[in-house]
Structure 1
Amino acid sequence: MTFTRTELRYLLDQPLGRLATLGPGGPQVTPVAFWVDTATHLIEVSGPNFGTSQKVRNIRTDARVSFVVDDMASEPVGPGGQTGRGLEIRAHAEVLAAERPLREGFGNILVRLHPRRILAWNLDGPGRNSRDV
């Protein structure tokens, strides 16, 4: 398994992430909707007009991406009373055409993320941890 139970539960509870791609002018970071396949632990990202977006063009040139999901917990979860928590997922991205859009109003082009490295903070316990997957 790629994600711990706590990490997977956390991802399933979050509505939005930020996808960073490498473009001709440098990094581009964009908020995106995402879904997690609980069987494979792959993440799918899509949106309206996604197939013509700069982020998809960037991925077709360089498939290395970083995907961040984070929030503020209602109770302290980290050292010194920190409430920030989240995941950074460094991944290889693959552009695909789905049979149908993942959500109404979206196009059928999606990006599937294959995690390579996971950096977590204040999820499975206080502080940071990271690992290759």
Structure 2
Amino acid sequence: MAFTEEEIAYMQSQPLARVATLSPHRQPDVVPLAFEYDGAHFWIGGGGQSVLKTRKFRNIGSGQLEVALVIDDMPSFEPFVARGIRIYGIAEQPIERVGMVGPGIYSRITPTVSWSWNLAGEPAGDTWYESHKTVHTQ
């Protein structure tokens, strides 16, 4: 399965994701960053060779390829409105390419499972938001 049109529209409306990686010692690290979705994969990275020195790329380079992304926002606190998408995926070793922030070093992430909630932006009401789970196949 793939992302729905609503999920893709939401992702395209958001400038940042939070990406979590694991160190070789299994220490989680999360960082906000710009991302690109090409219709099948996510791309993270940019800049020159210095991006390879960042913790996320050192973690991926060490073979810790399982990653998580969260793309979310809170359009309102009163009433309480939260919406977003959580994605598990597998990262690939970085390559040179031209991406959304220009030429640089990028890692491609293949989504494996995702959960989205409240993309329509409805107030929470008396219950928490129900999530929509998708298992992605390539």
TM-score normalised by the chain length of structure 1: 0.81
Query: Does the Cα contact within 8 Å between 2:19 and 2:31 map onto a contact in 1?
Result: yes
Q: 1:101 to 1:86 in 2, by over 3 A?
A: closer
In structure 1, stretches of 5+ residues that fail to align are none
CA contact (8 A) 1:46 1:102 kept: no
Secondary structure, aligned partner of 1:3: coil
Offset of residue 72 of structure 1:
1.2
- Residue in 1 aligned with 2:126? none
Kindly, what percent of the aligned residue pairs are identical? 32
Cα distance change on mapping 1:75 and 1:7 into 2, 3 Å: farther
Where in structure 1 do 4 or more consecutive aligned residues deviate above 3 Å?
Answer: 99-102
- Counterpart CA distance in 2 for 1:103 and 1:86 is 23
List gaps (5 residues or longer) in structure 2.
123-128
Equivalent residue, structure 1, for 2:87: 89
Matches of 1:86 and 1:127, distance apart in 2: 12
Structure 1: distance between partners of 2:98 and 2:119: 34
- The alignment of Structure 1 onto Structure 2 pairs a total of residues equal to 125
Which of 63-72 and 123-132 deviates more? 123-132
Say which of 117, 121, 131 aligns to 2:113: 117
The CA deviation at 1:101 is 5.3
Question: Given the two structures, how large is their TM-score scaled by the length of structure 2?
Answer: 0.78
RMSD of aligned Cα (Å): 2.3
